[in-house]
Structure formats: structure tokens, C-alpha cells
Amino acid sequence: MTEEKLRELLAEASEQRALDYKEALDLSERRDLVDIAKDVAAMQAEPSGGYLVIGADDHGNPTGRLSEDQTRGFDEATLRPKLQKYIPTLTMHTAAHCLDGKWLVLLYVAPSADGCCVFQVEGTYQDGKKQVTVFRAGDVFVRHGTSSERWKQSDVVGVWQRAIASRKETWRRELRQELEAQGAIGAAAQHVRQQSVSALTWQLDQEVFEAAVLEYLRAEDDIPLRQFLLSAPAQARELLTTTPEDLPTLLNRVASFTALSLVHERTQWATKGTDSLLSIYNLGNDLPESAQDSLTGPRLWLSVLERVYGLGGLAVRLQDWPAVRILADRRGTNQGFDWFGSWLRHGLTTASRAGLLASGASHSSGLIAAAHNTVREVPALHPDASPDDDAVLNSLCQFDALGALVVMGATGKAATRNFYTNFARYMTQRTEPALVAITRDAGMRQTLFDGSPELLEESLKLLVQMADKEGFGYNGWTGVSDPHLQELVYD
């Protein structure tokens, strides 16, 4: 809920399914309160929730029509009880910021665990002598493009699927709690270890799964570990045709496995975990690429990359440079790899061509933002810090930049087909330390970058040149500030 996040959303410059601009709202007016309740309820039906920016026009320009006094009405302690008159359950966060003398409010609405919100009372306001009813008790609103509207029959399946997917993880936790009643998580993990090699499965509750993996790693019992990684791609293939809503859970378990291996310096298993993700990535070759299809290659590739970035950020924080390299330079079997240098660029570009990164699409906030959400979901990806600690977002940005250099070094070509500056959406100070470090730390540089000093300089120049251009559009990256780096890239 930072100013940086607000600027990022304003830079989108257009409303989307999960982003709504309001020129001004006065919550002391019933009309405005009912209006925002409608939008908040609709955002609850979005898979990742959504944002409302109050004080901006339809193009993301601050209007100056929201006063500082009016922003106080959006304080969570004040706003929550007003909205809960209409909305039964609500998770939200708000923050007020003043940009260039103009006040704005950033409001985040989390998705509903039930898949949608059912209004519990009607929402009305008085317009002169006429009473206007915006919604009635029992109504369900969802987002249709940039509008909040009553749901239709075509919306029902998607809402149910999201609710079921959310409930499945709850059911796994309940199963774990039953095991806890008979002992503890450790005992549950021991119980898994005592079963057949197939007992280590993605269907386990997250906490029991992680504890079981640690038990196997500690005992150096490699057969169940190997079996899990070998079976994961086949199970992913089955899920793609049966219950695709379960695929994120499987990917999270493989990411957890790999993260635990990284943290506990089991290099062999971290590499094998990455290879398992690559095998799942390659399943996208057999899927359609049309954005109209729910199961597409680009969607799968992007989902895998979210976990790869989460792992890459962890590796950066651990200063595990060999792992950073392995995570950055993997190449799939798709014919696109005849051109693109690694899966980081291939997956992003195909997703962009499929419209998944366009305004209003599922990943319009960018790959790093999506990866950050994945880190929030998977405890093993942030054992060292809160998922919203600056260090986590910084490391995601730094992995993006270092990954670009890895691929340019490995291919011997400073070319834009080898990278994209996702980090340019964010402030310079998040990424620059990694660029400074690779120019000064010989050991780090030797591990990450193949090539001459001249190629490194050329690669850094191209990287910064693209970041300068892209950052301007996002109110993010503003150019390097370190004197040594400036001399290197701005000659």
C-alpha cells in the first residue's frame, strides 16, 4: 500500500478488471458509500482481488478533488464497519498519499474465500424525491471489463471454481489439524515418511508437505524425493485435462521443495526441483496459445515463471549465485527457444503476445507483482523475512536484472531477445545494488556472467537503456545513481 504501488497503478493509465479509478468520493454521502460498496463487492469475485484508486480520473491522472479531510473517511477502522453493513465478510487495506499536492486513497480488496460476495441488505440512496436502488439483498456483483455489474449465468462456473480451489487448501489444513490432534506436525511428517514412497504428494497440506520434505532431506532418503519430482510433470499433465484449478497447488509444492533445498544447501535437489519445473513448463508446448482458451501454453509458462522468480528472489537473498544462474538460464523445448535465450524471456514474451499482460488482463501489473503474490502464498519462499518486507520485493527485482545478465553472458549476445526489464516498474534503489555488486564482486561476476569485460559493459548498457525507457512509463526506475555504475553505462 506504498506510494510506489500507487504510482504503479496510476501509470496503468486505464481501468481494468482488477483496477478502478474514482475521481472523488465523499463517504459522508450515502450515494458514494453505496457506490464504493458495489465496487468492493465486485472486486471480491476477482481471483486476486483488486484495487480502487480514489482521486484519479479514467486515465490515472490525479484530480485534486479529494481533500485531506475526506481521506480520513477511508481509514480502515472507519470504512470497514460502514461497508460491513452491506458486505458480510471483508478483507481490505487502505492508505492515503499526497502526490504533488493532490490527495489520493489506495484501497485493496482481497478475494472472497467464498468466490464472491452476496449483499446482505439493499443499497439505496435518495436522489431528490426519488429513491435509487443500486443493489438488493441477495445480489451478487462481479467485474465485467471495467464495470461492476450483477453476475450472469456465464459468471457462475468461474466463481464456483475459485471457491472450490480456495476450499481445497482449507480441507488440507483440516486434515493436517486432525493429524496434529494425534501428535504434531513433526509426527505427521514422520507418519508420511513411514509410508510408501508415493506418500510424499502435492495433495498434502502445505505445512505437512514442507515438514515431510525436511525429514527426507535430513535422513538423506532420496527415493521418495526423486519419486515426487519425477511424478510431478505427469501429475501436472493430468491436472491440465481434469482439474486445472489444482495446478497452482502442485506448482507451489514443487517450488516449496526447491526452496527448502536451497535454504538447506542441498544443491543437487534444488537443481532437480528446477528441472522438474522445466519439465512442467514444457507441457505448454501441447496446449493452444489462444488467449480465448482457458488452458493455454502462455498461461502455464507464466504460472511456472511466477515460482521461478520466487525462487530466484530467495537465491538472491541467500547470495546463492550458482542457483541464480540455474534458475535464470533454463531453456525449454518450444521452437521459440531458437530465438529467445531462456525461459524468462520466452514465457514473458509469449504471455504478452497472448494478451495476458495487456491492460485489464490477469497479469497487467507485471510478472514481478504476480511472483510477489506467489511468494505470499508459499512460506518456503520467504523463510527469512515477511513476504511484504522490502527485502523480498528488492530480491525479485534483482533476480530479474541478474537473470538478464546471466542469459546475455551465456549466449554471448547483448540483445533484447534475451531479456526484459520487469524491474523497471519499481524504484531504482530496489535493483541497483545488484548491478553495482556484479561489477565489483569478482566471485559473483565469475559465477553469473560468461564473457569478457567488454561484453559485460555492453550488456549493462543495454539493460540500463531499456530500464530507463520502460521506467519512465511506470514512474519507477529513474536511472542509475551509483557513480561507478554511471561512468560504466552513461559514457
Amino acid code (one letter) for 159: V
Q: Which pairs count as long-range contacts for 172-179, CB under 8 Å and 24+ apart, including other chains? A: 172/203, 172/204, 172/205, 172/206, 173/205, 173/206, 173/207, 175/205, 176/204, 176/205, 176/207, 176/208, 179/208
Could you tell me the pTM of the whole model? 0.74
One-letter amino acid for residue 51 of the chain:
Y
Residue boundaries of the structural domains of the chain: 3-151, 168-220, 226-489
DSSP string, 137-183: TT-BEEEETTEEEE--HHHHHHHHHHHHHHHHHHHHHHHHHHHHHHS
Q: What is the pLDDT along the chain (491 residues), one digit of tens a residue?
A: 788 888 888 877 778 888 899 998 888 889 999 999 999 999 988 878 889 999 999 888 999 999 999 998 899 888 999 999 999 988 899 999 998 899 999 999 988 888 888 999 999 998 888 999 999 999 999 888 888 988 888 878 777 777 776 666 666 666 666 655 555 555 555 555 555 455 788 888 888 899 999 999 998 889 999 999 999 999 999 999 888 888 999 999 999 999 999 999 999 999 999 999 999 999 999 888 765 556 789 999 999 999 999 999 999 999 999 999 999 999 999 888 888 989 999 999 998 888 888 655 556 678 998 899 899 989 999 999 999 889 999 999 999 999 999 999 999 999 999 999 999 999 999 999 999 999 999 999 999 999 899 999 999 999 999 999 998 878 789 999 999 999 999 87
Whole-number Å distance between alpha carbons of 442 and 430: 22
Residues 333/285, Cβ–Cβ less than 8 Å = yes
How far is it, in rounded angstroms, from Cα 230 to Cα 234? 8
Matching CATH number, 3-151, of 1.10.10.60, 3.30.950.30, 3.10.450.50, 3.90.950.10: 3.30.950.30
Closest listed residue to residue 311, CA positions, set 376, 258, 386, 369 = 258
